[in-house]
Structure 1
Amino acid sequence: MRRMLREWHWQRLKTPLAQLQLLVLDVDGVLTDGGLWLDPEGQLQKRFDVRDGLGLKLLQQAGIELALLSGGHGGATEARARQLNINHCLVGIQDKPPALKALQQRLGIAPNNTGFVGDDLNDLAVRRNVRLLLAPSDACGPIRRQADAVMHHKGGHGAVRELAERVLKARGIWTTLADQGWRDRNN
């Protein structure tokens, strides 16, 4: 029953997913599993899922602008953004709504065409600035309850890839990709 209800939520989001122009992602707990590794010199290291990376590339090729918006910093997020050609990597952001609003204004993209993926309480603050608030399955309870939909996958373990597939299905692109495969046309 719970799975059917979850799928119903996704079905009602087909139009907003198809109209998405900007997808903003928190990093820790969304693109990573939230774990932080420190090497002996105190340098921060994070683990990213390569399938999430491919999902982000697919969204870029579909014309969706991507941004990372994180309260953390340390270099790993910026490096991953460069690898994925994500031009908007906002780190060390303590107050997310003004940063998101400034990005939307700079890009000329309305909140109604913006989605945000977050996993914790500090991500709830952007709710009024986006049409879609989405969460990985292991997000904290308050964000799961207020999210428009919750992915089946956990943060750092395919949640972003799952969302990418749902967006591409809503746009009618997924079937061709699933049948013919994908080639990186950015290189």
Structure 2
Amino acid sequence: MQRLLREWNWYRQRSPLAALELLVMDVDGVLTDGGLWFDAQGELQKRFDVRDGLGLRLLQQQGLQLAFLSGGQGGATEVRARQLDIQHCLVGIKDKPPALMHLQQQLGVSKARTAFLGDDLNDLALRDSVGLLIAPLDACRPLRHQADAVLHRPGGHGAVRELAERILQARGDWNALRKNGWRDRND
């Protein structure tokens, strides 16, 4: 019941989503399903959802700044960041709050206009560093309980796309996209 009330209040107060300037995301468990696959040579491989990628491109075209902030390493995250033209790809970060604060200062974005999408205890440490803390459906219980919103989709399976659509709806940009579709204008 508490989650439903939180979610209802989040929908009712859409202005925090509309006012966002920076969306920061964990990678493993958010952009991926959290599984780590290794090939025969020991190289790490990760699966990313293509619809999440388009959601991020839509947000970029609307002027939202995006960043990956991950404790993990391995190369796949950096490749995905380059594919999506994510300018801020911070990997191997063991203490996330100082890294996020440095990024916010670098970009001139306030805590109130920053959202973080994370799935585990190390992401919960960012609670006081952002205006909105958001969790995918399958995030760990402590994070879900303290999040401002819990999405309906699990990490790596459309959670990022769901959030992107909610942000675009709050900004009034979704209806035109839904009606006319989207074209990559490379601008």
- TM-score, length-normalised on structure 2? 0.96
CA distance in 2, matches of 1:108, 1:30: 25
SS at match of 1:67: strand
- Does the alignment pair 1:127 with 2:127? yes
Alignment of 1:20-99 (within 5 A): 20-99=20-99
**Cα deviation digits, residues 151-176 of structure 1 (max 9, x gap):** 00000000000000000000000000
**Cα deviation digits, residues 134-163 of structure 1 (max 9, x gap):** 000000000000000000000000000000
**CA 1:15/1:70 → structure 2, altered by over 3 Å: closer, same or farther?**
same
Q: Does the CA-based 8 Å contact 2:25-2:68 persist in structure 1?
A: yes
Structure 1 residue ranges, 4+ long, deviating more than 4 angstroms after superposition? 1-4
Cα shift at 1:74? 0.3
- Amino acid in structure 2 at the alignment position of 1:87: Q
**Cα deviation digits, residues 1-38 of structure 1 (max 9, x gap):** 78964651331341000000000000000000000000
- Does the alignment pair 1:166 with 2:162? no
1:138 is matched with 138
Give the alignment's Cα RMSD to 1 decimal: 1.4
Structure 1: runs of 5+ lacking an equivalent: none
- Amino acid in structure 1 at the alignment position of 2:14: K
CA distance in 2, matches of 1:29, 1:48: 10
SS at match of 1:20: coil
SS at match of 1:175: helix
Identity of aligned pairs, percent? 71
Count the aligned residue pairs.
187
SS at match of 2:162: helix
1:18 is matched with 18
